[in-house]
């Protein structure tokens, strides 16, 4: 028998708020025995104690399981703090199966529209971080057409914005597919890459100097060799003494009239 693709499209270690979630469960009779080929299968769900409504997807038996079934809750049914579902069968002696789920509200690290994808990867938007492994270990929920697929990111290449996933996609992402990346429980929030930040123009910097450029100029002024401090031309060298970082034209009273900086 082939695998049940619908089931693995939303396999997660725990329910996530707003993301489809799959569950498996037995249907039993009053003596505790499982019921195979159950008839009249129905499922209802209550969100935060509201009036129960019929679950959008159908209860399906796993082939040759002897009474094991699965059900996929859609993203709307998982957009709740407490989801209480009841599964019933009209088979003789069948007792209701009750499921209670508590979807986690995880931090969303990025949400946007994808560029493209294939069976094993999704290419994120061009503005995604350039740091390798930035999203490795995260959960990505991708909406392709009318279906949402939840996957684990196994690696991320910053230069190409390429995220490899497991398990494989049954439908490839495309330029109209949207995604949300969640930071799962137990995974530290993605640390900031100092080099990545350093080579980016940070809000509030002066005249477009990056954090890295500002840092080397400050280091030169504080720690580098200096000459001409008693004259009208003060010079501060790089820490490795390979170049002039700062050259300042200074008056006798110490006023800086002109400053040349090299933060490269």
How far is residue 49's CA from residue 46's CA, in Å, rounded to a whole number? 6
Residues 6+ apart with CB under 8 A from 112: 124, 125, 127, 128, 178, 179
First to last CA, the chain: 62
Highest mean pLDDT among 5-14, 141-150, 217-226: 141-150
Residue 50 — very low, low, confident or very high, per pLDDT cuts 50/70/90?
very high
How far is residue 108's CA from residue 249's CA, in Å, rounded to a whole number? 50
Same-domain pairing of 202 and 175? no
pLDDT of the residue at 108: 94
Same-domain pairing of 20 and 87? yes
pLDDT of the residue at 23: 94
Residues 20 and 150: beta-carbon distance below 8 Å: yes
Comparing 120 with 237, which gets the higher pLDDT?
A: 120
Same-domain pairing of 186 and 199? no
pLDDT at 160 over 60: yes
Same-domain pairing of 219 and 164? no
pLDDT of the residue at 216: 81
pLDDT at 69 over 80: yes
Same-domain pairing of 201 and 248? yes
pLDDT of the residue at 248: 80
Same-domain pairing of 11 and 97? yes
**If you average pLDDT over residues 104-128, what whole number do you get?**
95
pLDDT at 35 over 90: yes
Range(s) of the domain holding residue 35: 5-101
pLDDT at 231 over 70: yes
Same-domain pairing of 87 and 143? no
Choice among 69-78, 123-132, 246-255 with the minimum mean pLDDT: 246-255
Residues 9 and 19: beta-carbon distance below 8 Å: no
Q: Which residue in 203, 215, 208, 258 sits closest to 239, CA to CA?
A: 215
**If you average pLDDT over residues 24-52, what whole number do you get?**
96
> How many other CB atoms sit within 10 Å of the CB of residue 88?
17
Among 75, 101, 127, the domain-final residue is: 101
pLDDT of the residue at 201: 52
Comparing 230 with 26, which gets the higher pLDDT?
A: 26
Indicate whether this model's pTM tops 0.85: no
Residues 78 and 16: beta-carbon distance below 8 Å: yes
Tokens for 21, please give them. Answer: 């979630």
Give the number of domains in the chain: 3
Same-domain pairing of 157 and 217? no
Comparing 6 with 206, which gets the higher pLDDT?
A: 6
How far is residue 27's CA from residue 41's CA, in Å, rounded to a whole number? 10
* Percent of residues in the chain assigned helix, strand, coil, to nearest 5: 10, 35, 55
Among 130, 158, 191, the domain-final residue is: 191
pLDDT at 213 over 70: yes
pLDDT at 41 over 70: yes
Residue 192 — very low, low, confident or very high, per pLDDT cuts 50/70/90?
low
**If you average pLDDT over residues 176-181, what whole number do you get?**
96
Residue 118 — very low, low, confident or very high, per pLDDT cuts 50/70/90?
very high
Among 59, 76, 101, the domain-final residue is: 101
Residues 6+ apart with CB under 8 A from 131: 158, 193, 196
Same-domain pairing of 56 and 96? yes
Give φ, ψ of 213 to 5 degrees. -65, -45
pLDDT of the residue at 205: 54
- Residue 19's domain is classified under what CATH number? 2.60.40.10
Same-domain pairing of 81 and 124? no
pLDDT at 234 over 90: no
DSSP label of 94: B
**If you average pLDDT over residues 203-232, what whole number do you get?**
75
pLDDT of the residue at 199: 54
Same-domain pairing of 97 and 125? no
Same-domain pairing of 171 and 221? no
How far is residue 61's CA from residue 152's CA, in Å, rounded to a whole number? 26
């Amino acid at each position: 028998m082939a695998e049940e693709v619908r089931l693995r499209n939303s396999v997660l270690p725990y329910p996530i708020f707003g993301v489809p979630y799959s569950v498996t469960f037995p249907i039993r009779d009053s003596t505790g025995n499982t019921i195979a080929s159950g008839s009249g299968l129905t499922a209802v769900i209550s969100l935060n104690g509201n009036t129960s409504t019929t679950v959008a997807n159908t209860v399906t038996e796993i082939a040759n399981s002897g009474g094991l079934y699965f059900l996929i809750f859609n993203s709307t049914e998982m957009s709740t703090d407490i989801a209480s579902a009841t599964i019933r069968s009209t088979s003789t002696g069948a007792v209701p199966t009750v499921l209670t789920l508590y979807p986690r509200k995880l931090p969303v690290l990025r949400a946007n529209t994808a560029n493209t994808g294939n069976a094993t990867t999704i290419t994120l938007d061009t503005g995604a971080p350039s740091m390798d492994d930035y999203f490795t270990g995260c959960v990505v929920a991708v909406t392709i057409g009318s279906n949402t697929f939840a996957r684990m990111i196994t690696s991320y290449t910053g230069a190409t914005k390429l995220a490899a996933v497991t398990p494989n996609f049954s439908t490839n992402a495309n330029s109209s597919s949207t995604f949300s990346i969640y930071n799962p429980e137990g995974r530290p929030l993605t640390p900031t890459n100092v080099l990545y930040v350093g080579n980016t123009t940070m809000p509030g910097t002066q005249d477009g100097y990056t954090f890295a450029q500002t840092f080397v100029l400050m280091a030169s002024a504080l720690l580098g060799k200096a000459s001409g401090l008693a004259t009208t031309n003060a010079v501060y060298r790089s820490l490795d003494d390979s170049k002039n970082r700062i050259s300042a034209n200074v008056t006798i009273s110490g006023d800086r009239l002109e400053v040349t900086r090299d933060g490269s």
